[in-house]
Homo-oligomer: A and B are copies of this chain.
Amino acid sequence: MKLNIEQSKLAEILETAYLAISPKPTDPILGNILLIANEDGMVSATGTNLNLTIHTTTTANVETSGQVALPAKLLTDTINNVRGEITLEVENQACIITHNSGKCRLIGGKPDEFPTLPKGENPIEVNLSAKKLQAALEGTLYCTNGDETKLVLTGVNFKIDTNKWQAASTNGHKLALVTGSLDSEYSEPIDFTVPGKSLGELNKILSQSADTSVCNILLSNKTIEFSLPNTKVISRLLEGEYPKINSLIPRTFEYEFTLERKGFESALKRVSYLAERKQKVVKILWELEATQATLYTEATDIGDAVDSVLMKPATSHSENISIGLNIDYLLEGLKHISTDEIVVRCNKPTQPVIICPMGGLLNQLYLVMPVEIKQGFEKVNNQSTKTEASTQPEPSTEEVTDIAQATNDSENSQIETSSLIAKDTTKGKSTSRSSRTKKEVATA
């Protein structure tokens, strides 16, 4: 194998293939990137960790065709640090890389030990705009469960029904859902879950793709292949049934508030320093007449804070509502919304709160569970600052409600999907606090 190639082109395919390389490969050959040069002037780079395979191609001046498996990190680092025209020449398992101020020799693995590209049988084909797929990943990946023992919850679940599609993820306390429509119609419903890690790498590749690119998806029994111009991303699918996400989302809402995303984010950050370290709870009082949301936090023996942001209510209710929420969860949701304005929807203080972008490329929804807050929560604010806080009631102890539990009105009863989602997570959380009294959050 011998070829000449512009550094930027080689660096690009290496960076892409490198995304699939595990930092601790289970087999030494998986620490390599496979380079294949064809006489038609195409060069491909492939990286794999067996769960995820990335194969990408570019053009080069190929003098002699051939293949070589070279240490992925070393090769990528080396090529990233040279400039101009590069020559690659392979003799046995070694590759000589010549650039304008020197050369280096890398000793590689045996190319025939490198795994072949996985091929699924009888695939179903779906086409989706690359930018919409990327928006769907941005809007869901952050709600997957990072804990590898949670299996199916570590992935993003996709559903296709006639010409509608949706992507969803949840870790039991927060949930994200993105929906859109397709150009084709599918007669049978399709349901599959892709590992979050694979999608995280796909997301990086999609972010580099052109606005007009289409992603061709081939779905088989055990694998999924995402094809973009010059790049294929092939991932295994996660086994197991995904929780019935849609039944967890309330269909009607008693309250709806529109507010400016950045202003809300800043106010949350300001009060976050005075929330308890462990369970960062903010109590938000939605004041209908004053058209403002007032945020309260309190940290024992340290202090407390109150802040407010303007909002537009759209509700027939005349009573204010006060809800306890985890600040980190809220900030995480807001970080993954790109529109200037957001819509917050809720019912009772113990039921899920929904945050949606106002506009945007796709229908997007973030669901977060409320936290019960303790009696006398903003007492210190009242005593010391004589602010708007003085008219507030005083709710209860902190306890993040589990999604499945809270979607049902009657306390402690569980709806059908609860065991699928976070039964053990909930148990783990409650044990340490089981001695505390839980109280209903009071509404103002």
Contacts and interface: CB of A to CB of B under 8 A. Distances in A.
A96 B385 contact: yes
Contacts of A271: 102, 104
A273 B75 CA distance: 9
Contact of A385 (B103, B295, B309): B103
Nearest to A71: B302
A244 interface: no
Copies of this chain, whole number: 2
B302 A102 contact: no
A233 B203 CA distance: 48
Interface in A252-276: 266-267, 269-271, 273-274
Interface string A234-258: 0000000000000000000000000
A274 B102 contact: no
Interface string A305-326: 1111100000000000000000
A125 interface: no
Interface string A158-177: 00000000000000000000
A381 interface: yes
Nearest to A274: B104
A71 to B, nearest CB: 7
Contacts of A116: none
Contacts of A274: 74, 78, 104-106
A107 interface: yes
A435 interface: no
A273 B77 CA distance: 7
Nearest to A307: B102
Interface string A101-138: 11111110000000000000000000000000000000
A384 B89 CA distance: 11
A289 interface: no
A411 interface: no
B308 A74 contact: no
A36 B74 CA distance: 56
B103 A306 contact: yes
A74 B380 contact: no
A148 interface: no
Nearest to A107: B303
A157 to B, nearest CB: 37
Given A102-B308, A105-B380, A384-B91, A273 B303 contact: no
Contacts of A94: 303, 384
Given A74-B273, A273-B74, A274-B74, A304 B81 contact: no
A103 B266 contact: no
Given A74-B302, A104-B273, 18 more contacts: A74-B303, A78-B270, A81-B270, A81-B273, A96-B384, A96-B385, A102-B271, A102-B306, A102-B307, A103-B305, A104-B271, A104-B305, A105-B303, A105-B380, A105-B384, A105-B385, A106-B274, A106-B303
Interface of A: 71, 74, 77-78, 81-82, 91, 94, 96, 98, 101-107, 266-267, 269-271, 273-274, 295, 301-309, 380-381, 384-385, 387
The 3 closest A-B pairs by CB, nearest first: A102-B307, A104-B305, A106-B303
26 contacts: A74-B302, A78-B270, A78-B273, A81-B266, A81-B270, A81-B273, A82-B270, A94-B384, A96-B385, A98-B385, A101-B270, A101-B308, A101-B309, A102-B307, A102-B308, A103-B305, A103-B306, A104-B271, A104-B273, A104-B274, A104-B305, A104-B306, A105-B305, A106-B303, A107-B301, A107-B303
